[in-house]
Amino acid sequence: MILAEVVDLHRAGAVLDWDQETYMPPGGVQNRSEQASTLSEVAHRRFTSDEVGRLLDDAEGAVAKMPFDSDEASLVRVTRRDYDLARKLPAELVAEIARSSSAARPFWQQARREANFAIFAPYLEKNIELNKRVAEALGYEKRPYDALLNRTEPGLTADQLEAIFAELKAAIVPLVADIKRHADAVDDSVLHRGFDPDKQIRYALDTVAALGYDLERGRQDISTHPFSIAFGPGDVRITTRVNRDFFNECLFGSIHEAGHGMYFQGIGRNLDRTTVWDGASPGVHESQSRLWENLVGRSLPFWHYFFPSLRKTFTEPLEGVDAEAFYRAVNKSYPSFIRVEADEVTYNLHVLLRFELENDMLEGRLKVRDVPEAWNELFKSYIGLDVPNDREGVLQDIHWSFVGFAEFPGYTLGNVISAQLMEKIRSDITDLDAHIERGEFATLLGWLQEHVYKHGRKFTPGELVERVTGGPLTPKPWIAYVRKKFGALYGLGLDRD
C-alpha cells in the first residue's frame, strides 16, 4: 500500500540523517542534502496524491462503526489529519521553506559565533513571514500559533498553553529565587573531578540496557547533539556525548535518548509501516525521555541501586562519596543561560520565554530588531540573570533558523505529562521505589508499554493523558513534584503550605 511506501521513504531518509550526524565526512554535506530533499519530495508527492484521498474516502466509510481506538479506525483518522494538513500547504510554499531554512543556517551560525544579531535579523524576518503564511494556509480560528501547534501538538491551543505556562511561572519563579538564596545547600563539585570518557560511554550503555533499552534492536554512537532515531521497530538508535569534566552530560544524555528509544521500540508491531507508527507528538515523546532521565534517573532509589557499580567503575573521582551525596550533586539547580543545559527547575522558564516571543513575533507585537532586548528583559525577570551577549541569549537555539515555530512548547509539555503519568504509575505500582532500588525496571517499562508505547500515534496528547489519568493536561503534578524534591534538597521548608 502507498502508506507503507511513504513510511519506507521517510525511514530511508532517517538512515541518511543518522549517518550525517555520526560518521559522514564533512565533504558529504552537499550530496546528502540533495538526497534528503529528493526523498522527502517523493514521499510528500506520493502521500498528497489524489489517490490517497480517494482511498481515505472509501476507508472512512468502512471504519465508521469500528471502535475509536481500533487499529483500523485510528489509522484512517490519523492519516486523514496528516493528509489534510499536507494538502493545505501549497508545493511552492513547502519548497520556499526548505530553501529559506538552508539559506538561513550559515548566517545564524555566523551571527552566533560573532554574537551579532544583526547578521541573522533579515533571515528571522523572512522566517516569521513564512510561519505566518503557513498559519494562513492551514487556517485557524483564533490565533496563528494555533495553526502551527495543530501540526506539532494536535488538539492544543495557544490559550491552553498560556494557562499552563502561567501556572508554571507562578510556581517556579519564586522557587528559583528561593533556591538561589540556598545555593550552598547542594555541592556538585564531585561531578567535575574527571571521569574517563570511554568508561563513561560504556557505563551509560550498560545503564540504559539495564533500564530496558533493547540492544538487539538498538545501538549507541557519539554525536555533537545527542538524539534518538527510529528506522522501524527492529532498529532504533541513540547517540550520546561525553565530557571528562562534567559527569551529567553522558549518562543523563544517554538515559534521555534511551527514554525516546524505548518508546519507539515499544510501539505495536501491528502498526508498523503505517502513519500511526511513531510517537504521539513531540511533547508526549519528551514525556518519555524526561520520565526516565529525571523522574527515574535523578531519583534517590535509582542511585541506591546504581551507585555501588558507579563507584567500582570510577574509584578515584568517587573516593569518599556516597549514594546520597551523589544524588544531591546530580540534582543541583542553578540559573544558567543555555536552555539545553538547564536543570529541572529552571528549564520550563527557558521554554516559556521562547513561547511568548514566538507569539509576539507572529502576532506583530514584536519587531525583529527589538527581539534581543525583549529576550534579555524576560530572561532577567524569569531567571534573574543579565544576558552578557546574544550568543548566550537570543542566538543560542537553532530552531529560529528554520521555519518551525511552535516546536519549543513540546519540551515543557514533556515535563508536565511525565509528572502526570508518574502520579498515575505510583498509584498503580505502589512499591515502585522498592523496584527501582532493586534494579527492577521491568514493572515500570511494562506499565509504559501498556498505557503509552504500544498505541503509537493513535491518540492526541490530550486524548492520551485523559485516557491514562482520567483528567485533562495539568501542570499541578509537576509543580508538586519539583516543590517536594527541591524543597527537600535545599531545605526550603515548602511542606508548610
| Chain residue at closest Cβ approach to Zn ion | 289
The binding track of 79-118 with respect to Zn ion, each residue x by CB under 5 A or -, is: ----------------------------------------
Least distance from Zn ion to the Cβ atom of residue 84, Å: 28
| 3-state secondary structure at position 229 | strand
Note whether 197 and 240 are within 8 A (CB).
Answer: no
The C-alpha angle 377, 382, 386, rounded to 5 degrees, equals 50
Distance in Å, CB of 120 to Zn ion, minimum: 25
Q: Which is nearer to Zn ion, 281 or 289 (CB)?
A: 289
| Catalytic residue from among 153, 257, 344, 356 | 257
CB of 289 to Zn ion, least distance (A): 4
- Asked whether 199 and 316 are in contact (CB, 8 A), the reply is no
Burial of 334 (0-12, 13-18, 19+ CB in 10 A): middle
Residue 300: CB minimum distance to Zn ion, A: 23
CB of 69 to Zn ion, least distance (A): 26
Q: Which of residues 231-290 bind Zn ion (CB under 5 A)?
A: 289
Name the residue nearer to Zn ion (CB basis): 212 or 253: 253
What span, in angstroms and rounded, lies between the C-alpha atoms of 376 and 394? 8
Known active-site residue 257: yes
- Nearer of residues 264 and 337 to Zn ion, judged by Cβ: 264
Nearer to Zn ion, 274 or 348 (CB): 348
Report in angstroms how near the CB of residue 351 gets to Zn ion at its nearest.
13
Half-sphere CA count of 418, side-chain side, radius 13 A: 27
**Binding to Zn ion in span 125-184, by CB under 5 A:** none
Name which of 79 and 289 has its Cβ closer to Zn ion.
289
Residue 35 vs residues 11, 32, 106, 237: alpha-carbon distances, Å: 13, 5, 20, 21
52: alpha, beta or left? (left if phi > 0; alpha if psi -120 to 50): alpha
* Nine cell digits for residue 181: 538564596
273 phi-psi bin (left φ>0, alpha ψ -120 to 50, beta other): left
| Distance (Å, whole) CA 481 – CA 423 | 9
The site string for Zn ion over 431-460 (x = CB under 5 A, - otherwise) reads ------------------------------
> 220 vs 289, which CB is nearer to Zn ion?
289
Give the DSSP per-residue string, 140-186: -SS-HHHHHHHHHSTT--HHHHHHHHHHHHHHHHHHHHHHHHTGGG-
Compute the half-sphere exposure of residue 359: CA atoms within 13 Å on the CB side of its CA: 17
Query: Interface with Zn ion by CB under 5 A: which residues?
Result: 289
Instruction: Supply the residues annotated as catalytic.
Output: 257
